[in-house]
Structure 1
Amino acid sequence: IKMASEDIEGDFMTTWGQKFSDEMKTWSDGKIDITVYPYGSLGDIRDINELCQYGVVGSVFSDYGWISSFVPEAQVLALHYLWPKKRAPEVLAWVMKNGKFLNILEKSFRRVGLVPLGVMWEDWMWITSKKPVYKMEDLNGVKLRLMSSKLLVEQWKAYGATPTPMSYGEIYGGLQMGLIDAQMNPIFADYSMKFFEVTDYFIKTYAEAYLGIPTVNQVLFDSLPKNAQEKMRQFWSEANLSSAKWIEEKNNSDMEKIKKERPEIEFTTFNDQEIEKMRKIAVPNYSNFSKIGGKDAQLIMDTLIKDVSDAKKALGI
C-alpha cells in the first residue's frame, strides 16, 4: 500500500504515517506493507488526495483544508474557536473515542470513495507575517495565505484579512516576492519549510487548530478483513494523545531553533481580550458552514459541537 503524506520527512504526518506502517506490518506478520511517501514525492497536496480517491495510492495523510476540495464536510474541523485554549488534544481524543462525529463524517468521505481513520492533533496554527500584528485590527488588508477552503476564506475575511489560497510549495516564494504578506501553519512547518526566513512576526490567535486526517481508499479498506480494519482505526485512536505530546515537543524544539537562527523575530500570543473579540465574530459565522459544507453540513456541525461540549464536561474543563 502506498501512503502519500502531506509533510516532508521528519514532520508529523510522515513520521506518524511510518509508525502506522510499522505497527500494521508487525501486527499482520508482513501481510500489510505500507510505504510512506513524503511531501513532493507523488505530487502536490491536492494531487495526493485525488490519487487516493482514484485508488492510485491506497492511503493519504492530509488535513481538513485540502481534503475539503473532495469532502466539503471536512471543513467543519476548521471552525474557529471550536477547541478550548487549554487541554484541546484531550478534548479531541475524547471526541474521537467517545463521540458520534467521526462515524457521521465517514459517510461524507465514503460518498467520494474515501474512509477517514481518525483526526489527529498537530497543535495550533500560527500566523507568520512580514507586517506586525498585535491585535485583530492589524489584520486589516493583510494578504494571508490559507489552505484551499471556502470556510477558511470566509472566516479570515470576517476579521478584515485578505485571504489568498495558495499551494504549500508556493508559500516561500509568495512571501519572498510579496505576493502575500503572511501565511498560516503550525510551528514545525514554519521551521521545516523555512517560512521563518521570509517573515518577521509570529502570531498565535488560538483561532484554529491544525488537524490531520489519515485516510484510506474505500475500495481498498473494504477489501481488508474486519480485524485489519479495526486495527487501523484502533492505531489512530490510541495514538491521539501520544502523537499530540510528540508534536508539542517538536514544535517547542523547532521554535527554539527559529529563535536561535533569527533572534529578531517577534513572537506574539493574543491575550484573552483579543481572543474574545475574534470569537464574537467567528461564532456567528458558523452559519456559513451550513451553506458551503456539503450535503450533511448542519448535522455534522451540530454533532461535532455537541461532542466537544460533552468532552469538556467529561474532562472537567
Structure 2
Amino acid sequence: MDLLKPCTTLAKVVALASLAFTAQAETWKYAIEVSQGDIQDLYAQEFKKRIEAKTDGDVEVRIFYGGTLGTSADTTELAANGALQFANVSLGHLGSFVPEIQLFSIPFILSENNDVNKALMTESKTLYQDMSADFARNGLRLMSIYSEGEDAWAANRAIHSPEDLENFKMRILVSPMQVEAFKDMGSSPTPLPFGEIYGALQLKVIDGVGQPISSVYQSKFFEVTDYLISARHQLFTSAIITGDDWFNSLPPTRQQLVQDTMKEVTEHMMDEVPELERQFLAKIRQEKPELTYISLTEAERAPFRARAEQTRKKFVELVGTNGQTVLDNFLAERNRLEQQLN
C-alpha cells in the first residue's frame, strides 16, 4: 500500500494543476450601450453562451453595460487599443470614423424583407470587404451589423406626414447624416446624449426620439410621451466592432470561430427581434393604456419615402467620391437579394 501513496499524491498534484489551469480562462470583455434586458444585451448574452460552449470554457465573455466603461467613443477607443475585445456601438457613432457606414442613416435604404436584411448584414461585400481598409486605418474591424428592430418615434404629438414634423425637435445622435436625414423628413434634429433623453422628453426640451421599441420600453421613454409612431422608415441598426490588431493576433481557427459565431447570432437575433418587438409593444400598451400607437399607412409613408431621395444625394456629397460607389453597390446587393429571396 505504501508504494501507492506517491502515485496518489502525484495524481492529486496533477489534478490540482489541471484545475488551476482551467480556472484561468481567457476573458473577452464586451461592452454594450444600454442596460440589462435590452436587445443589445440579448445579443451579447447569446454570443457569450455560444462562444463559451464552443471553446469548452477556454474563453469567458464578460459583459459591461451602458456607461460602465464610458461613452460609445470611449469603448470604440478601448476596442481599437485592444483593451476591450468587443463593443456594440451605433452606426451613427461609427460614421465619425468611417463616413461610408452612415449609409444606414438614409431612410428606406434597407429592404422590407427580413431575410434580405439578414443576408445584407451578414454577407454584404460593400460592408465587410469594401469598407474593411477604412475600419483598419482606425484600428478597428467590423464584426457584425444587426437590427434591434424598427426605429419607432416616441413623441409628444401625432405624426402622419412630414408637415407634422415642422418645428418638431427630434433627438438624434451626433451624426452628420442623421442631421440631414431628419431635416429632409421635416423635423428639427436635436443632438443629445442618450442619458439625457428621458429628462428632455419630460421637460419638453425635445418633442420626440427615434429608438427601437425595446429601448422605448426599457428606458421608459413611453412614460413621458403620448404617442408611439411606426413609420417603418428605418431599422435601428447596431454594429459589433473589435480591434484589428487584436483580431489579427488570434490563431486563424479562433478568428473563424468568432466570425462564424457572430454570423449565427446575427441571424438568430434578427429572427427573434420581430417577436420581441411585439412583446415590448404589448408591455408598453399594458403599462400605459392611454398611449396612442400609430402605424402609418402606405399612402402616409410615401411622402417620407420621396424625401429620402434627397438624403441619398446628401450622403454622396458628405462621403465624397466613394459615396456614390458605396450607395450604388449596396443598393445593387439589396435588389439582387430581393429578387432571389422574394
Aligned residues: 314
Select the residue among 66, 75, 100 that pairs with 2:93.
66
Q: CA RMSD in A?
A: 1.7
Q: How does 1:1-317 map to 2 (within 5 A)?
A: 1-85=28-112, 87=113, 89-101=114-126, 102-293=128-319, 296-316=322-342
Counterparts in 2 of 1:294 and 1:147: CA distance versus 1, 3 Å: farther
- For structure 2, the residue ranges without an aligned partner over 5 or more in a row are 1-27
Instruction: Please identify runs of 4+ aligned residues in structure 1 that moved more than 4 A.
Output: none
Please state how far the C-alpha of 1:294 moved relative to its aligned partner: 6.4
- For structure 1, the residue ranges without an aligned partner over 5 or more in a row are none
Greater shift in the superposed pair: 115-124 or 296-305: 296-305
Counterparts in 2 of 1:242 and 1:229: CA distance versus 1, 3 Å: same
Instruction: Supply the distance in 2 between the matched residues of 1:129 and 1:112 (Cα, whole angstroms).
Output: 36
Instruction: Supply the distance in 2 between the matched residues of 1:28 and 1:239 (Cα, whole angstroms).
Output: 16
Instruction: Supply the distance in 1 between the matched residues of 2:321 and 2:191 (Cα, whole angstroms).
Output: 23
TM-score (norm 2): 0.87
Please state how far the C-alpha of 1:264 moved relative to its aligned partner: 0.9
Over alpha carbons, which structure has the higher Rg? 2
Please state how far the C-alpha of 1:190 moved relative to its aligned partner: 0.2
Percent same amino acid among aligned pairs?
27
Please state how far the C-alpha of 1:180 moved relative to its aligned partner: 0.6
TM-score (norm 1): 0.93
Instruction: Supply the distance in 2 between the matched residues of 1:97 and 1:181 (Cα, whole angstroms).
Output: 35
Please state how far the C-alpha of 1:295 moved relative to its aligned partner: 7.1
**SS of equivalent to 1:268:** strand
Contact between 2:111 and 2:117, CA under 8 Å: does it hold in 1? no
Please state how far the C-alpha of 1:4 moved relative to its aligned partner: 0.7
Please state how far the C-alpha of 1:55 moved relative to its aligned partner: 2.8
Contact between 2:163 and 2:186, CA under 8 Å: does it hold in 1? yes
